[in-house]
């Protein structure tokens, strides 16, 4: 069975708030510089199909979320698979202590001068907001979720908007990479993400997509 679906990408507002004509979405990509890579698909999306959160505030990095609606149907295959939204509920778990996968083509060290070509993955523990907040002097809100980066393994510049997914067999999307500390990604500061469960109503309102379970 081949199923084509209209896909919506969840990313960060700060990645999409100053687009000119639009943005290229890379699907099924491992090496983003290899145009002949098997399974790779690049879809250009016009700015009119990008929805930046209307209350995005750059100064405080508040509501750092946006949606990119793909204008063409996408067929899932061994290279392209969707993540799941968390199930809608009256209350959400914090995910503290669980481990999750963050991924991206961001810088692979603080000495790197550019982002990387090969998609990178890290397996990291979620930390509590109360543990994360003191590191960032008021910037971490209830609508954020943080990872521990002790050991120097973190998200970095260029990873923004990328997914934080649970290892639950459904790749439940719980975060979108938002920010870190300016003086380095290897220094142990928590990595901060937009907390997806805080925006499930907004995502449903803008895209019609929601997970009501089975
Ligand atoms: C690019 O992708 C193709 C197809 O997957 C592969 O055969 C080739 O070795 C890749 N090229 C590089 C430079 O990695």
Q: What is the pLDDT of residues 186-198, one digit of tens each?
A: 999 999 999 999 9
Is 160 among the catalytic positions? yes
- Which residues, other chains included, contact 68 with Cβ-Cβ below 8 Å and sequence gap of 6+? 8, 9, 11, 16, 23, 25, 45, 49, 50, 51
Which band of pLDDT confidence, cut at 50, 70 and 90, is reported for residue 84?
very high
Paired residues of 177 in beta bridges: 193
Is 14 among the catalytic positions? yes
Measured between alpha carbons, how far is 13 from 58 in angstroms, rounded to an integer?
9
Atom of ligand 1 nearest to the CA of 31: 14
Is 64 among the catalytic positions? yes
Catalytic pick from 66, 154, 160, 178?
160
Evaluate: CB of 31 within 6 angstroms of ligand 1. Answer: yes
Continuous H helices in 80-212: 129-132, 200-207
Among protein residues, the one whose CA lies closest to atom 7 of ligand 1? 37
Evaluate: CB of 36 within 6 angstroms of ligand 1. Answer: yes
Continuous H helices in 64-145: 129-132
Q: What is the pLDDT of residues 138-172, one digit of tens each?
A: 899 999 999 999 888 999 999 999 999 999 999 99
Residue 36 Cα to ligand 1 middle (Å): 6
What pTM did the predictor assign?
Answer: 0.95
Residue with tokens 């895209």: 207
Q: Return the pLDDT at 136.
A: 95
């Amino acid at each position: 069975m081949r199923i084509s679906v209209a896909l919506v990408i969840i990313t960060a507002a700060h990645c999409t708030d100053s687009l000119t004509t639009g943005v290229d979405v890379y699907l099924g990509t491992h090496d983003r510089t290899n145009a002949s890579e098997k399974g790779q698909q690049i879809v250009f999306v016009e700015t009119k199909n990008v929805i930046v959160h209307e209350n995005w505030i750059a100064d405080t990095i508040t509501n750092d979320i946006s949606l990119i609606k793909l204008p063409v149907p996408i067929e899932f295959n061994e290279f392209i698979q969707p993540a799941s939204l968390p199930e809608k509920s009256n209350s959400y778990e914090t995910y503290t202590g669980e481990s999750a996968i963050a991924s991206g083509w961001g810088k692979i060290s603080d000495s790197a001068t550019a982002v990387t070509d090969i998609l990178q993955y890290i397996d990291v523990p979620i930390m509590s907001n109360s543990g994360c907040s003191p590191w960032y002097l008021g910037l971490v809100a209830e609508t954020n979720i943080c990872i521990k980066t002790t050991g120097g393994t973190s998200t970095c510049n260029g990873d923004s908007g990328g997914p934080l997914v649970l290892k639950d067999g459904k790749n439940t999307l719980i975060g979108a990479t938002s920010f870190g500390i300016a003086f380095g990604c290897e220094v142990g500061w928590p990595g901060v993400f937009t907390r997806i469960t805080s925006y499930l109503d907004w995502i449903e309102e803008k895209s019609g997509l929601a997970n009501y379970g089975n």
